[in-house]
Amino acid sequence: VLTKIISFLEQECKGIAIEPMVVGVSGGPDSVCLLDLLIRSGKSIIIGHFNHQLRPDARKEADMVSKLAARYGFPFVCGTKNVKEYAKDNKISIEEAARKLRYQFLFGQARLLKSPAIAVGHNADDQVETILMHFLRGAGLSGLKGMSPVTHLNEFDQEIHLIRPLLHSWRSEIEQYCQENHLESVQDMSNYDKTFLRNRLRHSLIPDMETYNPAFKLALMRSADTMRGDLQMIEELTDQFWTSAFMEGDPGYLSFNLDILQRADAAMLRNLTRRAVTYLKNSLRDVSFEAIERLVRLVKDDKSNSARIDLADGLFVFCEGNRLFITQSYSDIPDRDSPQVMQPAVICTGESLQLVGDWELLMELVDLTDLEMITSNLDPYQVWMDADLIEEPLQVRCRQEGDRFQPFGMPNGKMLLSDFFINVKLNKRSRGSWPLVCQEDEILWIPGYQFAHKYRVKETTTRSIHMQLRRSPGR
């Protein structure tokens, strides 16, 4: 086992800084063995223990690890949280809560102590059980590849490495090592409520599978190693594709070039989607097969611009023109191009009103001298209306339930504003805060699109209200 661990540190950790490393020690055989081996291999170490407060003996176990640290003469850090409470408060399983709080503690300590790596005691049997659990729930490559010997847990830290030096050592080897070296340990509690499932796998399903292939566990380990390499190849391809398809994004949203997505095959889209969810959520935990297939169909579907589909954990996907967006909320997407009204406001002649998105609305009273110029105006961001029909101040607001509008050129009746927006193909995302210039309940002008028929400048009109929506100067 010592030879294995030394070759692990030499080969898998080649070229990455791992010292001083925080070693997560629960007090179970795996972590006690790992600690002993790492100390023998001469590494610089900080011993970390997290008390999950899940068992009556938890306190004693912490003491035991503390004494162990003292005996070895290495620094010891200890943390604790009420895992049960945290699970309840966050509506997650106890196992999930335990994992989260434990890693939060270990990564937090590593950051504090400027440690570039955390070592944990997962062994080959844990690996087999993990892969089998993924297999049972129908995971793809990313699950069947199992745990990685050297990896990052981006949800906790993007820089600090997580290393698993015992990943190719069997539980029996570890127990033998502990016995031969008189290492005391407690029962390992790192997998609390999975214990029942793991125990069933360990004592029932895996032995059963070994009757089909006595070398099943070894075969699975090898297959995982191979698939880890394959996944890496796919990830590199996905990287390249991401680079070619990516348009914009920040921690709150991502947008991709829809044309490029449409030319890709389904497998690539699936991998891009998984990557995108991981990027936005720091984890892939909640994305289902169906959700990913929905996205694939959305992209391949010609009607992509009318749909919005749920992806995972609050994320949704929609298309806008040539772009596909993934986000948790429309408001996470900076609307750099559209004018937006956040709060209703009023405007009078001679004033200018600042709108979100670096736009401003101007209003002035003008004498009509050149009717021709006005009627031939093709700029939808400017309007001239009959001043005699208008009573200041005008309201500037966004749409309201039931808004209707009588566009210029439609002498009779009014249409639903929602229908008008659909007709002019205004982005769904922009409709909610698009500025409307109103007089009482009546919409006079929809900047960028159309003004109300009734307020048009006629031959008899002498004075006109001129309004303009433009980018704020000096921007």
Candidates 139-147, 166-174, 371-379, 411-419; binding stretch for a copy of itself (CB under 8 A):
139-147
Q: Which of 179, 232, 375, 462 binds a copy of itself (CB under 8 A)?
A: 232
Nearer to a copy of itself, 231 or 469 (CB): 231
**Contact 36/183 with Cβ under 8 angstroms?**
yes
Q: Which of 222, 263, 454, 458 binds a copy of itself (CB under 8 A)?
A: 222
Cis preceding linkage at 75, omega within 30:
no
Contact call for residue 227 and a copy of itself (CB under 8 A): yes
Tell me what percent of the chain is helix, strand and coil, each rounded to the nearest 5: 40, 20, 35
Contact call for residue 406 and a copy of itself (CB under 8 A): no
- Orientation angle between helical segments 83-90 and 94-112, nearest 10 degrees: 110
Candidates 134-142, 314-322, 357-365, 387-395; binding stretch for a copy of itself (CB under 8 A):
134-142
Alpha-carbon span 294 to 234, nearest angstrom? 21
At 390, phi and psi to the nearest 5? Answer: -115, 135
| Other beta carbons within 10 Å of 431 | 15
Torsion sign, CA atoms 8, 13, 18, 24? negative
Contact call for residue 237 and a copy of itself (CB under 8 A): yes
> In the complex, what is the shortest distance from the CB of residue 265 to a copy of itself, in angstroms, rounded to a whole number?
7
Contact call for residue 223 and a copy of itself (CB under 8 A): yes
Nearer to a copy of itself, 132 or 452 (CB): 132
> In the complex, what is the shortest distance from the CB of residue 278 to a copy of itself, in angstroms, rounded to a whole number?
16
Q: Which of 233, 336, 409, 411 binds a copy of itself (CB under 8 A)?
A: 233
What residues between 249 and 278 interact with a copy of itself by CB under 8 A?
A: 265-268, 270-271
Contact call for residue 140 and a copy of itself (CB under 8 A): yes
Q: Which of 220, 298, 299, 319 binds a copy of itself (CB under 8 A)?
A: 220
**Among candidate residues 388, 380, 344, the one with its CA nearest the CA of residue 468:** 380
Contact call for residue 424 and a copy of itself (CB under 8 A): no
Distances (CA, A) of 58 to 98, 183, 187, 396: 13, 19, 11, 63
DSSP line for 163-219: E-TTTTS-HHHHHHHHHHTT-------SSTTTHHHHHHIIIIIHHHHHTT-TTHHHH
- Binding-residue pattern over the window 277 to 296 for a copy of itself, x denoting contact by CB under 8 A: ------------x-------
Interacting residues of 212 by C-beta distance below 8 A, sequence separation 6+:
none
Q: Which of 135, 285, 307, 422 binds a copy of itself (CB under 8 A)?
A: 135
Contact call for residue 151 and a copy of itself (CB under 8 A): no
> In the complex, what is the shortest distance from the CB of residue 195 to a copy of itself, in angstroms, rounded to a whole number?
15
At 47, phi and psi to the nearest 5? Answer: -90, 125
Contact call for residue 144 and a copy of itself (CB under 8 A): yes
What residues between 40 and 79 interact with a copy of itself by CB under 8 A?
A: none
Q: Which of 230, 239, 250, 379 binds a copy of itself (CB under 8 A)?
A: 230
Establish how many alpha carbons lie within 13 A of residue 135's alpha carbon, considering only the half-sphere containing its beta carbon. 15
Nearer to a copy of itself, 201 or 312 (CB): 201
DSSP-assigned beta bridge partners for residue 77: 48
**Among candidate residues 85, 21, 91, 92, the one with its CA nearest the CA of residue 52:** 85
Contact call for residue 16 and a copy of itself (CB under 8 A): no
Distances (CA, A) of 328 to 16, 292, 296: 35, 16, 19
Contact call for residue 137 and a copy of itself (CB under 8 A): yes
- Binding-residue pattern over the window 154 to 193 for a copy of itself, x denoting contact by CB under 8 A: ----------------------------------------
| Other beta carbons within 10 Å of 308 | 13
Interacting residues of 253 by C-beta distance below 8 A, sequence separation 6+:
280, 325, 326, 327, 328, 332, 333
Contact call for residue 329 and a copy of itself (CB under 8 A): no
Contact call for residue 218 and a copy of itself (CB under 8 A): yes
DSSP line for 116-128: SEEE----HHHHH
Q: Which of 16, 136, 366, 373 binds a copy of itself (CB under 8 A)?
A: 136
> In the complex, what is the shortest distance from the CB of residue 303 to a copy of itself, in angstroms, rounded to a whole number?
18
Alpha-carbon span 423 to 443, nearest angstrom? 17
Residue numbers at the binding site for a copy of itself (CB under 8 A): 135-141, 144, 197, 200-201, 204-205, 208-209, 212-213, 215-216, 218-223, 226-230, 232-234, 237, 265-268, 270-271, 289
